[in-house]
Structure formats: structure tokens, C-alpha cells
């Protein structure tokens, strides 16, 4: 089998026995204790999701300065404009900011927002977005999920006597290896220099939530309310949890607490009208909400607005308190998401045909990095297609589409061991001027370049990949939790696991067992339906996207799900890989 389609090597996570035992002694059920220990948890304190365990906002550099500026603005009745971003993190951050400021005393007629159109304005607080915001006559601009690299935009706003509070979580810009920050009145970002906040992994929505916590504390000190009468900002945690999971940030202990608290509120029926409507539109049961729902059902419906239109529709869905209006907006987002899937399918098929031709020309081994462009590609879906191709070939991947003014807009996804934003930075240093704009994270980044620079960028990125990636990094592995004992193969186990918080860098359990394949058949032309003998019992299984038959005995990596039909519940194995 070619490297492009090679099965991953199945590995088993190490479970430190003393840690697992200590977690059990602290009251954690044995199976969960094993899973947590394998993911680096060392004490029960790390899995205590109580709100009191959240890192204090006083440790987040800039949060108190932002609180003082915003408190002064609220006291003076100044106009506040939120500058949002066009993904789910940006939309939830905008909704959290507007809802939270209103809860903390800002008059409704002093609050507004703007959100860039991906195709017209590009990303961040650009001068053009500032001009759009100036139509609202703001006294203060508050960026959410953007702004840390918006040097020109912040300067443009300050030149018009508008104060700027940047709340962001992205990496700052660098020039000649020196960090360059915008000249904002206040910057709140755990990834800015000199910030000692222990969680560098807050999403944009998490950062603005922390700013609101600091603002509430500031207003409490000013006598606006007491600890007993202060607004309950935890009512916003459904939005914080959604944006955190949808942005695929690392779920460290602090982020897991934010997500866990949001999920608890949703399961109890305490959520924004728009969140409830999106669960209904997606056909998901909110009383059993999980991070999986955020990442694969709710988040994509909000993201569809930013990909195919503009994010105003998604933000309005999260802002309305009218259930009927929320349902209408959620249905429109659902329809937009179906359209997005159709666009994505066509683009992915086209990109994979290009990839197949490339692999045919270079042999079975894919290049060190994959860079694909087609003039017919849709700018809003390049990131999703890049992710799909990256998963297929296990290579850093960029996909480009033609944007406004004929410039190429690219979105990239990476593999462990290859910091994508740092790679772009190195390309920019080696080839000054080839990247007109770039930014992002280790695993996801974006850039803009002229069409005639495409070949140069392709070669430059591949050169960096050849230098940075070794055979071990380029080999696909799938960490598993080893065999699953027969006594755990039940609905109760699945429910207990689903109730926990899993996600980026804290992956949901995947088991690995030797099984006998009793029957196998294709369903829907591309999914393998299986009957297996596992631990002496017959099990049902499905492997989505797999059409090739399996041998009579094979080692499978799988997760568990509950299949419900006609009121009956049955545990099903969802196969991830064979090895």
C-alpha cells in the first residue's frame, strides 16, 4: 500500500501504575483512572472541574488593565464596539463579550459589533474594518480572537481617537526575530511576552471570558454590586465551551474545566436560545451533550456562515433570546452547512485527483509538504480540504484559492512535530516579500501571496519540511488505550466516557484488540459493516469510509458508541484503523 494510504502504526499509551492507583484512591473509577493517567493527569485536583479551580484572572497579563478601561467606559456611557472574527471561536467570543458587557451594566444602545467578511476584508483588525466600525461612532474597540498582529489597524483606530483593547490568543507578529505588538491601549493575550498565565491554550472566547471576570471584580470593588448580587457570568459558559472545542485548542486542565462547566449547563437545559436551536437543527440531544457535538455538529454549522457568507448570521443566532428567531437562524445555518459540505466534497475530490496525479509522478512517497491550488476552489473551504488531505497523506498541507484582487489565500494544517506558523516565518525570512500576510498556530495557519509566487512558496515550504521532518515524524501512528476488558463493553461505560471532556491533546479513548471477522459487507457504498468476535462475544462494528475487505483475523483500533434504534440501545465498535 502506498504511503498516501498506509495504515497507522498502533501504539499503546503508557499508564503509570502509581498514578492510576492514586487516582483510584481519590475516588476515580478504575477505567477512568487508567485513561486519565495515560493522558498525563497526575492528581485528582487536575480533573476537579469546579469553577473555583479556574486559574484566577489576576494572573492574565492585561486583564486588570482592560477591566479598568472598560469599567470607566461603562461608567461614562461610552460606546463599545466588538471586532469579531469569522469562525466559531470568534462568533462565540463576540456573543460572550456583548452578553457579558450588558450583564455588567453597559447600556444596550452603547454596544455594537462588526465582523469581517472573509472574502472582502480578510482576517483581523485591518484599517478597512476600523473604518467599518467607525460608522458606529465607538469610543472603544474591543477585538475578540484577533488583533495581536493588527499593527496598522490599531494605529488607524488610535489616530481617530478610538481606544483599543486587544483580546486574542494567537501568536504575535515577529520582525527580525523580535516580537512586535500593536500600540493598543491594553493587550490581553496569554501568548504575549511577559504573560505568566499558566494556560497558554485559552481560545479567543476563553480570553474574553477572563476579561469579563476581571471586569466584574473591578466593578465590585467600585461598589457597583456585592459578591452576593453580582451577575452570574457562568451563564455564558455554554458559549465558552462551544468556542473552545470548536477552535481545537489544547484541552489543558483549565480549558477542560471551562468545557466541563459549559457541558453541565447544556445537559441541564441551561443554555442560550441559539445553542438549543443549533442542537435541535443538528438532531443532537442536548441532555447528552458532549465535546464531540461541539466539534462535529454545532461548531461546523456556525462556521458555515463565515465560510460561505459572513458570520453575522452565526453571531445573531447566539445573541437572540427569542426561541423562534433562534430556530429560524439555526435552520438557515443548517442549510448553509449542507451547502458547505457539497462545496467541500467537490473541492476535495478535485484536490485528491491532483494529489493522485502528483503521487503518480513522484512515486508512492508523498512530498515532504503538500501545496495545492486551483482557481476554482472556494476560499471559505480551503482549511477543511487541507485538513482532509493532511489526514490522508500525513504531511503538512496548504490549500489555496483565489481571493479578492487575484491574490491567493491559503489555509494550512500540520502534523505533530511541524510548527506551521514557525515554518511560514522561516519561509518569509528566506524569501522576503513572497508572503504578503501570514499567521496562525503550530497546527493551523494561513497566508496570502501573489499567484506568480505560488511555485516559489511551494518549493520553499517543502524545503523547510525536508529539513525539519524525519522518518519518525513522517510515520503515522495512532495512540491507543490497549485492549478493552469484556466487562467494560456496555452502555454504562460508553455513557461514563461520553460524560467526560475529551479533545485536542486529551484525546477520547481508542481501544485496540485482536478480533475475528465473522461477516463484512459494504453499506452506503463506502462504509464497512462488520460482525466481529471480540473477547469471546459477537460484536457489531462499522468502519466509516473503508471499502477494502479485512482479513479473517485482525487487530483493530476502535472507539465505542451507543446505537439506538426503536428504543433499544446497543454498543457498537466504530473502527478507526487496523494494524
Query: pLDDT at position 21, please?
Result: 98
Q: Is residue 359 part of a domain?
A: no
Q: Is residue 349 part of a domain?
A: no
- Full-model pTM: 0.93
Query: pLDDT at position 4, please?
Result: 43
Query: pLDDT at position 1, please?
Result: 32
Q: Are residues 72 and 161 in the same domain?
A: yes
Query: pLDDT at position 440, please?
Result: 84
Please write the tens of the pLDDT for every residue from 313-333: 999 999 999 999 999 999 999
Q: Are residues 463 and 484 in the same domain?
A: no
Which residues does the chain have with pLDDT short of 70? 1-6, 361-364
Please write down the long-range contacts of 10-15, taking CB distance under 8 Å and 24 or more positions apart: 10/477, 10/478, 10/480, 10/512, 10/555, 10/557, 10/577, 10/579, 11/477, 11/478, 11/479, 11/480, 12/479, 12/480, 12/481, 12/482, 12/512, 13/38, 13/39, 13/479, 13/480, 13/481, 13/482, 14/38
CATH number of the domain enclosing 43: 2.40.50.460
Q: Is residue 184 part of a domain?
A: yes
Query: pLDDT at position 173, please?
Result: 87
Q: Are residues 496 and 422 in the same domain?
A: no
Query: pLDDT at position 439, please?
Result: 86
Q: 10 Å Cβ neighbour count for 352?
A: 17
Query: pLDDT at position 579, please?
Result: 87
Q: Is residue 344 part of a domain?
A: no
Query: pLDDT at position 3, please?
Result: 39
**Set of cell numbers at residue 453:** 509566487
Query: pLDDT at position 2, please?
Result: 36
Contact in structure between 578 and 560 (CB atoms under 8 Å): no
List the domain range (segments joined by +) for residue 317: 51-336
Query: pLDDT at position 174, please?
Result: 83
* Close Cβ partners of 138 (under 8 Å, ≥ 6 residues apart): 79, 80, 81, 112, 162
Query: pLDDT at position 5, please?
Result: 53
**Set of cell numbers at residue 113:** 459589533
Q: Are residues 422 and 494 in the same domain?
A: no
Q: Is residue 554 part of a domain?
A: yes
Measured CA to CA, the distance from residue 130 to residue 162 in angstroms comes to 10
* Secondary element (H or E) of residue 569: strand 568-578
Q: Are residues 421 and 503 in the same domain?
A: no
Query: pLDDT at position 479, please?
Result: 96
Contact in structure between 333 and 122 (CB atoms under 8 Å): no
Q: Are residues 179 and 112 in the same domain?
A: yes
Q: Is residue 224 part of a domain?
A: yes
Q: Are residues 189 and 74 in the same domain?
A: yes
Please write the tens of the pLDDT for every residue from 258-295: 999 999 999 999 999 999 999 999 999 999 999 999 99
CATH number of the domain enclosing 388: 3.10.310.30
Contact in structure between 95 and 194 (CB atoms under 8 Å): no
Give how many domains the chain has, as a whole number.
3
Amino acid at each position: 500500500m502506498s504511503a498516501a494510504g498506509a495504515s497507522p502504526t498502533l501504539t499503546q499509551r503508557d499508564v503509570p501504575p502509581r498514578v492510576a492507583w492514586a487516582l483510584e484512591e481519590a475516588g476515580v473509577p478504575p477505567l477512568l483512572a487508567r485513561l486519565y493517567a495515560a493522558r498525563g493527569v497526575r492528581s485528582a485536583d487536575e480533573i476537579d472541574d469546579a469553577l473555583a479551580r479556574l486559574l484566577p484572572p489576576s494572573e492574565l497579563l492585561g486583564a486588570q488593565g482592560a477591566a479598568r478601561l472598560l469599567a470607566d467606559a461603562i461608567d461614562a456611557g461610552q460606546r463599545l464596539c466588538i471586532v469579531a472574527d469569522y469562525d466559531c471561536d470568534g462568533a462565540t467570543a463576540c456573543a460572550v463579550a456583548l452578553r457579558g458587557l450588558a450583564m455588567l451594566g453597559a447600556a444596550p444602545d452603547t454596544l455594537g459589533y462588526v465582523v469581517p467578511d472573509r472574502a472582502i476584508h480578510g482576517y483581523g483588525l485591518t484599517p478597512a474594518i476600523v473604518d467599518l466600525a467607525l460608522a458606529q461612532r465607538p469610543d472603544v474597540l474591543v477585538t475578540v480572537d484577533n488583533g495581536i498582529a493588527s499593527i496598522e489597524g490599531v494605529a488607524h483606530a488610535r489616530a481617530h481617537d478610538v481606544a483599543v483593547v486587544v483580546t486574542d490568543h494567537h501568536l504575535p507578529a515577529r520582525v527580525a526575530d523580535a516580537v512586535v505588538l500593536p500600540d493598543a491601549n491594553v493587550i490581553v493575550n496569554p501568548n504575549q511576552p511577559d504573560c505568566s498565565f499558566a494556560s497558554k491554550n485559552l481560545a479567543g472566547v476563553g480570553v474574553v471570558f477572563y476579561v469579563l471576570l476581571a471586569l466584574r471584580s473591578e466593578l465590585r470593588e467600585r461598589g457597583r454590586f456585592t459578591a452576593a448580587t453580582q451577575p452570574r457570568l457562568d451563564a455564558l459558559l455554554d458559549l465558552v465551551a462551544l468556542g473552545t472545542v470548536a477552535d481545537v485548542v489544547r484541552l489543558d486542565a483549565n480549558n477542560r474545566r471551562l468545557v466541563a462547566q459549559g457541558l453541565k449547563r447544556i445537559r441541564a437545559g441551561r443554555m442560550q436560545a441559539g445553542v438549543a436551536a443549533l442542537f435541535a437543527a443538528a438532531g443532537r440531544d442536548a441532555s447528552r451533550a458532549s465535546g464531540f457535538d461541539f466539534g462535529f455538529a454545532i461548531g461546523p454549522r456556525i462556521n458555515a456562515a463565515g465560510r460561505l457568507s459572513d458570520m453575522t448570521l452565526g453571531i445573531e443566532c447566539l445573541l437572540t433570546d427569542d426561541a423562534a428567531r433562534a430556530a429560524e437562524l439555526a435552520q438557515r445555518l443548517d442549510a448553509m452547512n449542507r451547502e458547505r459540505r457539497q462545496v467541500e466534497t467537490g473541492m476535495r475530490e478535485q484536490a485528491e485527483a491532483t494529489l493522485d496525479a502528483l503521487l503518480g509522478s513522484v512515486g508512492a512517497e508523498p512530498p515532504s509538504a503538500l501545496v495545492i491550488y486551483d482557481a476554482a476552489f472556494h476560499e471559505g473551504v480551503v482549511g477543511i480540504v487541507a485538513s482532509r488531505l493532511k489526514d490522508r497523506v500525513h504531511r503538512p498541507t496548504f490549500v489555496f484559492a483565489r481571493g479578492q484582487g487575484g491574490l491567493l489565500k491559503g489555509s494550512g494544517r500540520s502534523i505533530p512535530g511541524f510548527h506551521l506558523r514557525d515554518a511560514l516565518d522561516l519561509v518569509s525570512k528566506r524569501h522576503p516579500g513572497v508572503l504578503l500576510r501570514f499567521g496562525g498556530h503550530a497546527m493551523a495557519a494561513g497566508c496570502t501571496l501573489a499567484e506568480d509566487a505560488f511555485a516559489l512558496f511551494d518549493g520553499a515550504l517543502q524545503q523547510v519540511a525536508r529539513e525539519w521532518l524525519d522518518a519518525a515524524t513522517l510515520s503515522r501512528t495512532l495512540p491507543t488505550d490497549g485492549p478493552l476488558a469484556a466487562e467494560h463493553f456496555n452502555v454504562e461505560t460508553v455513557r461514563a466516557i461520553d460524560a467526560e471532556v475529551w479533545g485536542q491533546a486529551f484525546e477520547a479513548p481508542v481501544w485496540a484488540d485482536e478480533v475475528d471477522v465473522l461477516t463484512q459487507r459494504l453499506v452506503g457504498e463506502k462504509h464497512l459493516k462488520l460482525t466481529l468476535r471480540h473477547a469471546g462475544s459477537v460484536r457489531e462494528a462499522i468502519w466509516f469510509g473503508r471499502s477494502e475487505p479485512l482479513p479473517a483475523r485482525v487487530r483493530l483500533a476502535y472507539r465505542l458508541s451507543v446505537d439506538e434504534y426503536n428504543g433499544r440501545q446497543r454498543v457498537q465498535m466504530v473502527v478507526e484503523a487496523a494494524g
